[in-house]
């Protein structure tokens, strides 16, 4: 269920029978208004005085529709000191933010009861947020074993509810109770496990900004700036960094903003100080760039030392003149070549390869083993055996041992090259997020208006300085600087970068705009409504980032293997060495098998080291997360927001889709197409009565009736309808009210029959005729007598039939579940080619149908709007919120389709199938590589072919394995949606 709970549309209308199923047409969530301050106190005055706000959650008993929810919400908001109130009719709950100095929970509870509903305070969710989410960057992880160790350590902390650690993104997301544990304790736990943790963000409803303060010369000045900023309303936390002249602020964007902070700084000390946004740095891309440079530098340095080692042991030994020089003895049997290789390989082993010692020490200290342990063991075995050979040669006059210095130094060089290529490739997996973040423009034109709304001044500002309710000018060719709505002008805006919709969208006064989209022709003045972390762009980025942290269930397979992988490889490596050594010792194979430059011990040692370094736990660990990262990124670029690996894994198995009707299969914009009066009365008067009744409902059909009624009041844009008394919404049937002392009822046949109103044969025939044409027939009674019938049509989306046909070809069954009447539902279903229909279904019945299908063995996807359909969305294996636009139903759905296109349902399923094909390919590659590579490295082919894998080649193969897995995932970047969808567009059908 959604955690963002907004006042919902009238659920009573959801299954009105003839009033139709219009769950997917619930009104968009409205955004929190400015704080409701106590009477007589202005916003500026009260913000500082109100103090901390509190949160309370009430269970409200007796609500049946949005009219009930609306009356509860209005009553609460009338109380002094209420910050915000949102009533969730589906869960019978009311969420209230309030200021305890003006109102308490008992006042709120009594107010709800005064409206006529039962109210109970849910104690465990009162006041401060009980769960907070923080994100951290973790440095030093090399394989799944590392990420599992950190995740287990975080999960074990008291107060942590959920912890997710992603190897591919090197980030952690922790859900915790701030009253029990702090983010600093989480960071300390990460450091205790042997890794470095850096806090990226903490909390969800607080914005952060870093400011640079020029002109500061003492710590006292900095403290003075801090105290001045702390006095502002909405400031949560301030941290100063005197040595950097930097101040970090956490604040509530509803109450204040960065421009206010800079103005305050500039006004301190008679203009001595100058505030500005601190130059960006230290972000994910900066960190990734530093990591790439670090590996590149390390690889180059290792190459400088390794190339001479390789040449002296592998090349110069075959050039007679040079070979003689390197074979010259220094002390006893120690040659110049030996000494040179020892000197050159030592810095590679202990300075350049220091990272592997540190990594293995940290892992072993916590009882786990990772890739670093294998590398450290393999290179140490080669290096220290070589040192032993050199020392033996120095003290003996007849020792003829061989050194393996080239093995250790070349191993480290190849592994560093592999890590460099891997980090480079991993950086490309998150390009989608970088592109999304780059959509926001750098500057904006801020307008100052006078009391009449005329422009007084305009100035160019940094777009990060935009605050809520600012008026911004958008010129042709410029990007929209912030989410908001148009207050002046008209234009066309290209929203493809956010929604994936290629065609420009017309915008005029009152229309909403999304930050980051492109203004094409006219000039617009927009009022900023959502800034910073609240913007649609930020929400999308957060969703994609969160999705990339979420593990797919298939990842558990790699996690289970990783626990035993490294210890098993060490045992296999030791067993290989022992088997070959004992075979050589007891003449188990001919001496001719032993190369001339070695003895049986050295041959066995080479086999053992090769086994140790060819095994690659990294490839297994990266198989799933890299593919999920690229898949979710590609989806985001096409307007399909997939909520992580679990959603991807479930979607690729879907074989049955349940569609809501209105707004999903139909356009969701109902229109009155026919009116038949059964009484002798003026049509304008008839519509005045029913519009006055329906204006109290937010149901789409009600809105269609009200809009049609306005045609009879053309002189007024927003006419004042007569007062409707005793308004009641009857669940599943319709509405009734008293207007001008007449009892008006608008609804289906059941509504009339329940109130003993006779339905004339003419009326029944008109309703049947309308339903046969896929229209909704609505009966209107005045004072207990049917006075007229309305026919309302919600046109089918162009291409809906083709979309259902494509799903059939993908072997996916389509079902329609709607609250509309059977006649209309069957007509629509027949038109689009859906055979199974469930009509007149309430929201909970939709969820029951989903569960019934699951019981039959289907993997079910539910396509709806994420609000009225949320019970079914949650019950389904995959919930898809369609037509979300800027108001993304993030919590209710697993997949959010940002356009109203049915083609995106097909794209989402096809993309998930393609992603899982790549995940399987990655696992086949990673497992197959280890299953084939380890036996070859152990010398299985040696007896028959004399082929053996030198350790340095085994190390190169290990490095190549990880890079190959990441590159296989990167191929997803070239994903193209099914050609059948392109064929629809070629034929002129645009599904929307």
Domain span at 220? 207-280
Task: Answer yes or no: is 479 within a domain.
Answer: yes
Q: What's the pLDDT score for residue 987?
A: 46
Q: Output the DSSP codes for 575-613.
A: HHHHHHHHHHHTT-S-GGGS-TT--HHHHHHHHHHHHHH
* Structure confidence by residue, pLDDT tens digits, 609-631: 888 888 877 777 778 888 888 88
Which two three-digit tokens encode residue 954? 């085994």
What's the Cα-to-Cα distance from 268 to each of 228, 236, 243, 737, 774, rounded to whole Å? 8, 21, 20, 61, 69
Question: Among 660, 869, 877, 887, which one carries the catalytic annotation?
Answer: 660
Sequence-separated (6 or more) residues with CB below 8 Å from residue 290: none
Considering 65-79, 456-470, 717-731, 879-893, the range whose residues carry the highest mean pLDDT is 456-470
pLDDT exceeds 60 at position 18: no
What per-residue confidence (pLDDT) applies to 540?
Answer: 73
Q: Could you tell me which residues are beta bridge partners of residue 198?
A: 137
Instruction: Tell me whether residue 41 is in a domain.
Output: no
pLDDT value, residue 13: 35
Residue from 474, 514, 467, 471 nearest 490 by CA: 474
Task: Quote the pLDDT of residue 433.
Answer: 65
Give the Cα separation of 413 and 629 in Å (integer). Answer: 28
528: part of which helix (H) or strand (E)? strand 524-530
Q: What is the CATH number of the domain that holds 739?
A: 3.40.1110.10
Name, in order, each residue with C-beta under 8 angstroms of 961's C-beta and a sequence gap of 6 or more: 616, 618, 619, 925, 926, 929, 933
Query: What's the mean pLDDT in 468-492?
Result: 90
Collapsed DSSP state (helix, strand, coil) of residue 86: strand
Are 907 and 931 in a shared domain? no
Q: Tell me phi and psi for residue 235, to 5 degrees.
A: -80, 125
pLDDT tens for each residue of 777-807: 889 999 889 999 999 888 887 778 888 989 9
- Average pLDDT along the chain: 79
Phi, psi of 83 (to 5 degrees): -80, -45
Residue 280 pLDDT exceeds 70: no
**Is there a domain that residue 36 lies in?**
no
d(CA 355, CA 975): 37
Q: What is the pLDDT of residue 555?
A: 75
Confidence of residue 66 (pLDDT cuts 50, 70, 90): low
Domain check: are 332 and 344 in the same one? yes
Nearest CA among 936, 864, 808 for reference residue 21: 864
Note whether 431 and 292 are same-domain residues: yes
Separation of alpha carbons 344 and 351, rounded Å: 11
Consecutive H or E run containing 200: strand 196-202
d(CA 784, CA 907): 51
Shared domain check, 424 and 453: no
- Cα gap 226→249, rounded to integer Å: 9
Q: Which two tokens stand for residue 53?
A: 């706000």
**Residue 16: its pLDDT value, please?**
35
Residue 149: enclosing H or E segment and its boundaries?
helix 144-155
- Interval 138-151: pLDDT, tens: 887 877 778 888 88
CB of 202 within 8 A of CB of 183? yes
Active site residue 660: yes
- Considering its fold, how many domains does the chain have in total? 8
815 confidence band (pLDDT: 50, 70, 90): very high
Which CATH number characterizes residue 886's domain? 3.40.50.1000
| Token pair belonging to 191 | 């450091």
User: Percent of the chain at pLDDT above 90?
Assistant: 12
Other C-beta atoms lying within 10 Å of the C-beta of residue 359: 23
Q: Are residues 677 and 757 in the same domain?
A: yes
CB 841 within 8 A of CB 37: no
Whether 787 and 769 map to the same domain: the answer is: yes
Question: Cβ(345)–Cβ(305) under 8 Å?
Answer: yes
pLDDT band at 299; cut points 50, 70, 90: very high
Is pLDDT larger for residue 989 or for residue 362? 362
Does 739 or 418 have the greater pLDDT score?
Answer: 739
Determine the Cα–Cα distance for residues 705 and 702; give it in Å rounded to an integer: 5
Domain-terminating residue out of 394, 414, 436: 436
**pLDDT reported for residue 34:** 34
Phi, psi (degrees; rounded to nearest 5) at 523: -95, 135
DSSP β-bridge partners for residue 564: none
User: Which percentage of the chain shows pLDDT scores above 70?
Assistant: 85
Residue 975's contacts (CB-CB under 8 Å, 6 or more residues apart) are 631, 634, 911, 914
pLDDT of residue 35: 36
Domain boundary among 97, 122, 147: 122
Label residue 908 exposed, middle or buried (CB < 10 Å: 0-12, 13-18, 19+): buried
User: Among 65-69, 399-403, 428-432, which is the least confidently predicted range?
Assistant: 428-432
Q: Name the band, by pLDDT with cuts 50, 70 and 90, for residue 216.
A: low
Claim to verify: residue 294 and residue 413 sit in the same structural domain? yes
Please tell me the predicted confidence (pLDDT) of residue 308: 92
The pLDDT value recorded for residue 992 is: 44
Give the confidence band of 11 by pLDDT, cuts at 50, 70, 90. very low
32 located within any domain: no
**CA separation for the pair 105, 663 (Å, rounded):** 39
pLDDT of residue 112: 87
Residue 107 and residue 255 in one domain = no
Residue 32's pLDDT is 33
- Return the CA Rg of the chain: 35
Banded pLDDT at 21 (limits 50, 70, 90): very low
Identify which of 171-185, 403-417, 467-481, 490-504 has the greatest average pLDDT. 467-481
Same domain for 805 and 941, yes or no, is no
- Alpha-carbon torsion (858, 859, 864, 867), positive or negative: positive
Question: Which DSSP state fits 495?
Answer: -
Are 198 and 265 contained in the same domain? no
Quick check: 844 pLDDT over 80? no
Predicted confidence band of residue 657 (pLDDT cuts 50, 70, 90): very high
Mean pLDDT across 527-532: 84
Helix (H) or strand (E) holding 483, with range, is strand 483-488
Q: What pLDDT, on the 0 to 100 scale, is given for residue 472?
A: 92
Higher pLDDT, 12 or 107: 107
> pLDDT tens across 905-959, in order?
999 999 999 999 999 898 888 888 888 889 999 999 999 888 888 887 887 787 7
Residue in 676, 631, 901 with CA at minimum distance from that of residue 787: 676
Note whether 149 and 78 are same-domain residues: no
**CA end-to-end span of the chain, whole Å?**
26
Per-residue model confidence (pLDDT) at position 959: 76
Is residue 515 scored above 50 in pLDDT? yes
pLDDT at 745 over 50: yes
Q: How confident is the model at residue 25 (pLDDT cuts 50, 70, 90)?
A: very low
Q: Is the per-residue pLDDT at 814 higher than 70? A: yes
Number of neighbours of residue 837 by Cβ within 10 angstroms: 19
Is position 691 within any domain? Answer: yes
């Amino acid at each position: 269920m959604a955690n963002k709970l907004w006042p919902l549309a009238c659920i009573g209308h959801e299954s009105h029978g003839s009033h139709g199923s219009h769950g997917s047409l619930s009104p968009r969530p409205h955004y929190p208004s400015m704080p409701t301050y106590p009477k007589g106190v202005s916003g500026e005055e009260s913000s500082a005085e109100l103090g901390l706000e509190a949160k309370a959650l009430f269970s409200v008993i007796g609500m049946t529709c949005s009219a009930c929810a609306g009356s509860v919400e209005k009553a609460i908001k009338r109380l002094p000191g209420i910050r915000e109130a949102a009533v969730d009719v589906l869960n019978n709950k009311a969420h209230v933010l309030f200021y305890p100095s003006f109102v308490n929970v008992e006042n709120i509870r009594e107010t709800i009861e005064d409206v006529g509903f039962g109210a109970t305070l849910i104690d465990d969710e009162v006041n401060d947020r009980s769960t907070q989410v923080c994100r951290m960057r973790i440095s030093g992880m090399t394989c799944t074993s590392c990420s599992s160790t950190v995740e287990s350590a975080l999960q074990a902390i008291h107060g942590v509810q959920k912890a997710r650690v992603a190897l591919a993104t090197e980030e952690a997301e922790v859900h915790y109770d701030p009253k029990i544990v702090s983010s600093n304790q989480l960071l300390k736990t990460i450091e205790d496990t042997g890794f470095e943790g850096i806090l990226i963000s903490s909390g969800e409803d607080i914005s952060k900004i870093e400011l640079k303060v020029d002109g500061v010369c003492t710590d006292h000045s900095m403290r003075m700036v801090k105290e001045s900023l702390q006095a502002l309303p909405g400031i949560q936390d301030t941290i100063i960094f005197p040595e950097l002249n930097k101040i970090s602020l956490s604040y509530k964007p509803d109450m204040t903003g960065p421009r206010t902070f800079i103005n305050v700084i500039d006004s301190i000390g008679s203009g001595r100080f100058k505030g500005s946004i601190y130059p960006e740095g230290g972000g994910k891309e900066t960190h990734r760039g530093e990591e790439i440079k670090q590996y590149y530098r390390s690889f180059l340095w290792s190459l400088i030392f390794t190339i001479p080692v390789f040449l002296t042991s592998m090349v110069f030994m075959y050039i007679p003149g040079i070979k003689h020089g390197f074979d010259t003895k220094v002390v006893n049997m120690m040659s110049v070549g030996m000494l040179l290789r020892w000197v050159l390989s030592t810095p590679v082993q202990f300075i350049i390869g220091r990272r592997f010692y540190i990594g293995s020490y940290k892992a072993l200290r916590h009882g786990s083993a990772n890739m670093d342990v294998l590398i450290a063991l393999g290179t140490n075995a080669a290096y220290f055996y070589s040192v032993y050979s050199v020392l033996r040669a120095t003290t003996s006059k007849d020792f003829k041992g061989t050194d393996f210095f080239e093995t250790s130094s070349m191993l480290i060089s190849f592994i560093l090259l592999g890590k460099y290529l891997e980090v480079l490739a991993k950086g490309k997996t998150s390009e989608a997020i970088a592109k999304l973040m780059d959509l926001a423009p750098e500057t904006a034109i801020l307008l100052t208006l006078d009391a009449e709304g005329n422009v007084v001044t305009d100035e160019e500002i940094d777009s990060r300085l935009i605050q809520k309710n600012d008026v911004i000018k958008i010129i042709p060719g410029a990007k929209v600087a912030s989410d908001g709505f148009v207050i002046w002008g008209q234009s066309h805006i290209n929203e493809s970068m956010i929604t994936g919709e290629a065609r420009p969208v017309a915008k005029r006064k009152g229309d909403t705009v999304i930050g980051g989209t492109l203004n094409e022709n006219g000039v617009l003045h927009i009022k900023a409504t959502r800034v910073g972390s609240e913007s649609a762009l930020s929400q999308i980025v957060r969703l994609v980032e969160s999705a990339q942290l979420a593990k797919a269930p298939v990842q558990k397979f790699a996690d289970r293997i990783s626990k035993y992988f490294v210890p098993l490889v060490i045992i296999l490596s030791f067993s290989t060495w022992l088997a070959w050594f004992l075979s050589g010792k007891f003449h188990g194979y001919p001496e001719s098998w032993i190369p001339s430059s070695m003895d049986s011990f050295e041959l066995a040692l080479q086999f053992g080291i090769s086994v140790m370094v060819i095994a690659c736990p990294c490839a297994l660990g990266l198989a799933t997360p890299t593919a999920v990262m690229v898949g979710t990124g590609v989806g985001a670029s096409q307007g399909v927001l997939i909520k992580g690996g679990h959603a991807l894994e479930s979607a690729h198995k879907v074989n049955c889709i349940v569609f809501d009707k209105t707004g999903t299969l139909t356009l969701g914009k109902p229109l009155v197409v026919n009116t038949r009066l059964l009484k002798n009365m003026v049509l304008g008067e008839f519509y005045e009565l029913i519009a006055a009744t329906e204006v109290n409902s937010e149901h789409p059909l009600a809105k269609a009736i009200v809009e049609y009624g306005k045609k009879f009041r053309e002189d007024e844009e927003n006419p004042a309808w007569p007062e409707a008394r005793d308004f009641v919404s009857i669940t599943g049937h319709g509405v009734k009210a008293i207007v001008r002392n007449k009892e008006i009822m608008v609804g289906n046949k059941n509504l009339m029959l329940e109130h003993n109103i006779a339905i004339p044969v003419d009326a029944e025939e008109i309703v049947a005729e309308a339903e046969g044409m896929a229209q909704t027939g609505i009966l209107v009674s005045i004072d207990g007598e049917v006075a007229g019938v309305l026919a309302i049509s919600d046109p089918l989306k162009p291409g809906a039939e083709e979309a259902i046909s494509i799903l059939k070809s993908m072997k996916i069954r389509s079902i329609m579940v709607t609250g509309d009447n059977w006649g209309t539902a069957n007509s629509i279903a027949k038109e689009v080619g859906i055979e199974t229909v469930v009509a007149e279904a309430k929201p909970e019945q939709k969820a029951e149908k989903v569960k019934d299908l699951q019981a039959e063995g289907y993997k079910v996807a539910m396509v709806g709007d994420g609000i009225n359909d949320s019970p079914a969305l949650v019950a389904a294996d995959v919930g898809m919120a369609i037509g979300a636009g800027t108001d993304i139903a993030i919590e209710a759905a697993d997949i959010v389709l940002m356009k109203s296109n049915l083609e995106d349902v097909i794209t989402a399923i096809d993309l998930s199938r393609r992603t899982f094909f790549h995940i399987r390919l990655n696992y086949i590659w990673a497992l197959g590589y280890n299953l084939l590579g380890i036996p070859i490295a152990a010398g299985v082919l040696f007896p028959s072919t004399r082929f053996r894998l030198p350790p340095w080649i085994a190390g190169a193969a290990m490095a190549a394995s990880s890079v190959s897995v990441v590159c296989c995932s990167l191929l997803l970047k070239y994903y193209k949606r099914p050609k059948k969808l392109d064929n629809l567009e070629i034929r002129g059908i645009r599904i929307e």
